[in-house]
Amino acid sequence: MTPEEAERRTEEAGIRTLRLPTPFAIGRVNCYLIEDEPLTLIDTGANSGKGLDELEHQLAEHRHSIENLELLILTHQHIDHIGLAEIIASRSGAEVAAIDVAVEFLHNYGEDSERDDQFAASLMLGQGVPQDVVTALQSVSRSFRAWGSRPKVTRPLRDGEMLELGDRTLEVQHRPGHSPSDTLFWDAERRILFAADHLIGHVTSNALITRPLDESSERPQALVTYIESMRRTRELPAEIVLSGHGEVITDHVALIDERFERFRQRAERIHELLADRPRSGYELAQELWGNIAVTQAFLTTSEVLGHLDLLINAGRAREVVEDGVTRFEAIGDGPLGDLLSAASADSPTP
Ligand SMILES: [Zn+2]
């Protein structure tokens, strides 16, 4: 299917794409207005006057207003997706739906973000990121916090639940990895998948290591979780994937396979670096990306650790803690394990 065809079918399904500004490098966020009963908006954009103004204008172009909205669905906990939720809910009285695991985070937004930052800080310090970089990043993160909001979730969703609208059914699919609360909404009849940041066409979504929502203290294997989630998405017979950023995706299987290949290559590159000598997460990040901007320190630490998890799980690297800093060393030379290989093995042959 061509992107033009996909856009036409999306329109025919009563779905309007609203593109709202964010303070992030990724640029605009895609929110989806579903003209159905109830009148539904998926995601909100960030909490800013400019964002609110654009939301009002873009809704008006489709002869709607914030006051008319009846259901607001949040796809995950990131602020470019939840920022205007509080304002929208108070002005419209719309129900606010989000996956159950995100509810507490959303209700405590602010305090929980502070705890997330603490978690990130100690993780980075443990990987050898210098204290001044960590401190600078914490203040950057605090300054972003006002772009979020603390919406009251009136309709918690369960994984696998069917969300019935007048004209369609959306299956709720919890697919963590990019964040712990990533949720997909699957319209099986139309083969349209609302994927938010789980799949983005023009960039690889980061598997950010986030403080677990269930309070467990172990470092989550975010990339491993993300790959497991993507393997499930790969099985869906989706024809149109509506992403949280950028353009519509019409071949999600090829896109996922491409991502898996990139993960594999990066893990192999890290293994080569470790075979040379043991290194910390921070040293690996510098090796891979050069001199890292402060704002990217956590992102790159997450990336490196995610790929190290692939190597560790495959028995090809191990963690050695010395003086509070973790280093990794190469062991073994085998394949990277089933996680990435099975998907390509069952690829349809051309
Ligand atoms: Zn996003």
Residues whose CB falls within 8 Å of the CB of residue 59, separated by 6 or more in sequence, listed in order: 18, 33, 65, 66, 68
Least confident of 99-113, 182-196, 329-343: 329-343
Does residue 175 register a pLDDT over 90? Answer: yes
Q: Please tell me the predicted confidence (pLDDT) of residue 348.
A: 43
* Cα distance between residue 162 and residue 160, in whole Å: 7
Over 80: is that where the pLDDT of 288 sits? yes
Statement: residue 341 has pLDDT above 90: no
Q: Which two tokens stand for residue 303?
A: 């990336």
Average pLDDT for the chain? 92
One-letter amino acid at 70 equals E
Cα(32) to centroid(ligand 1), Å: 13
pLDDT: which is higher, 208 or 253: 253
Percent of the chain with pLDDT over 90: 73
Residues paired with residue 196 on neighbouring β-strands, in sequence order: 243
Instruction: Please state, for a pLDDT cut of 70, what percent of the chain lies above it.
Output: 96
Task: Identify residue 251 by its one-letter amino acid code.
Answer: D
How many A from CA of 245 to the centre of ligand 1?
7
Please tell me the least confidently modeled range out of 67-81, 146-160, 162-176, 324-338: 324-338
State in Å: Cα 129 to ligand 1 middle: 25
Q: H helices then E strands: how many in the chain?
A: 12, 14
The CA distances from residue 45 to 42, 154, 224, 300, in Å, are 10, 19, 28, 25
pLDDT for 345: 44
**Residue 80 Cα, ligand 1 centroid: separation in angstroms?**
6
Q: Residue 74 pLDDT more than 60? A: yes
CA separation for the pair 268, 307 (Å, rounded): 9
Report the DSSP beta bridge partners of residue 242.
Answer: 194
Going from the Cα of 318 to the center of ligand 1, the distance in angstroms, rounded, reads 33
Average the pLDDT over 208-219 and give the result: 79
Distance 84 CA to ligand 1 centre (A): 14
pTM of the predicted model as reported, rounded to 2 decimal places: 0.92
Q: How far is the CA of 304 from the centre of ligand 1 (A)?
A: 21
What is the pLDDT at residue 337? 67
Distance CA 139, CA 141 (A): 5
Q: How far is the CA of 78 from the centre of ligand 1 (A)?
A: 6
Residue 50 CA, ligand 1 centroid: distance in Å: 17
Residue 338 has pLDDT above 80, yes or no: no
> 276 alpha carbon to ligand 1 midpoint, in Å?
37
Average pLDDT of the residues in 167-180: 97
Using N-to-C axis directions, what is the helix angle for 297-313 and 338-345, rounded to 10°?
Answer: 80
DSSP states of 159-179 as a string?
Answer: TT-EEE-SS-EEEEEE--SSS
> How remote is the CA of residue 126 from the centroid of ligand 1, in Å?
27
Residue 283 Cα to ligand 1 midpoint, Å, equals 28
Question: With contact defined as beta carbons under 8 Å apart, do 165 and 126 qualify?
Answer: no
Which residues surround the ion ligand 1 when the cut-off is CB under 5 Å? 80, 197, 244
Cβ neighbors of 61 (< 8 A, separation 6 or more) are none
Q: Read off the tokens for 267.
A: 């893990």
Least confident of 174-183, 211-220, 223-232: 211-220
| Angle at the Cα of 311 from the Cα atoms of 305 and 317, rounded to 5 degrees | 95
Distance 303 CA to ligand 1 centre (A): 17
Ligand 1 centroid–CA 211 distance in Å is: 18
